[in-house]
Amino acid sequence: MRRTAAAALTGGLLLTVSPIAAPAQAAAPPIPSISAKGGFLVDQATGAAVYGKANTTRRQMASTTKVATAITVLTTPGVDLNRKVTIKQEYRDYVVREGASTADLRTGDKLTVRQLLSALMLPSGCDAAYALADTFGTGTTTAARTASFIGKMNAKAKQLSMVNSSFDSFDGISAAGNNFTTPQDLAKLARHAFSSPVLREVVGATTYLAPATTSTGGTRTYTWYNTNKLLGSYQGAVGIKTGTGTAAGPCLVFAATRGSKTYTGVVLNGTDRYNDAAKLLDFGFGSSTAKTMKLRSLPKGAQRD
């Protein structure tokens, strides 16, 4: 008689256990060992947990916060992706002051919301995050609007039952350290966000060219490179977002599709985040791609995150 079961392993590791094998069946693949302090992998279609490490341990998430920024914009009722947003000097001042990653948005340029989403997710532009929060928040001042937008991000987290997560930032830069999540919570957010066709299109691009109207009526074309090196390196990789911070360490929210199967995952504070992600995806797909993966290089001068 064949049976199925689920097991909870020590150290917070959760996975689905394969059916008890008959003598002729191949053994289940070994559980991967990863550098990250926390990790999670889910089946995108069903939400079933495939792998977990320190699932409910709260950690800083750096710029993976921008997944919440993007989906909060995209799920705004009546959102117009072609709406033009004028770049303010304070967005540029902010990234200089914080030493933050930037899309190098120029004061007075007009970009669409769709373009700003690419500026947010590919070069991890904190200036783009500021512009989107200022545009989609409510209030009479920039501070009020950005605070309002962060409130919407937290409402999104509550809606998704992200019980161990909190946002105090629209981009992951957190002075108070109250911008945190868990691998399990961030995987919930990633799975929800990746259900958006627009977000999938945005995060799946390795390069994006954005023609913008300048303050003098001319045209400036921005070129942004995706900081996610898993794209173009791991077979089937389709997203999603990098993040790096002093407290957070290197983080990655990732997804890959092969055939009809898509897995979405998270690694938090991993010294070898891309190989970690590849190992987890291999575990899901039953492959060994990670052993031969060579990472895509970013052009000189491109943002790193």
Catalytic residue (choose from 66, 152, 188, 241): 66
d(CA 192, CA 16): 21
d(CA 129, CA 137): 12
Q: Around 304, how many Cα atoms within 13 Å sit in the side-chain half-sphere?
A: 8
Catalytic residue (choose from 124, 165, 169, 174): 124
Q: Which two tokens stand for residue 50?
A: 């495939």
d(CA 202, CA 133): 18
Is 66 marked active-site?
A: yes
Helix axes 126-136, 113-121, angle to 10 degrees: 140
Residue type, 296: R
Catalytic residue (choose from 53, 63, 118, 152): 63
Helix axes 89-98, 126-136, angle to 10 degrees: 130
Is 63 marked active-site?
A: yes
Nearest to 106 by CA among 82, 126, 133, 86: 86
Active site residues: 63, 66, 124
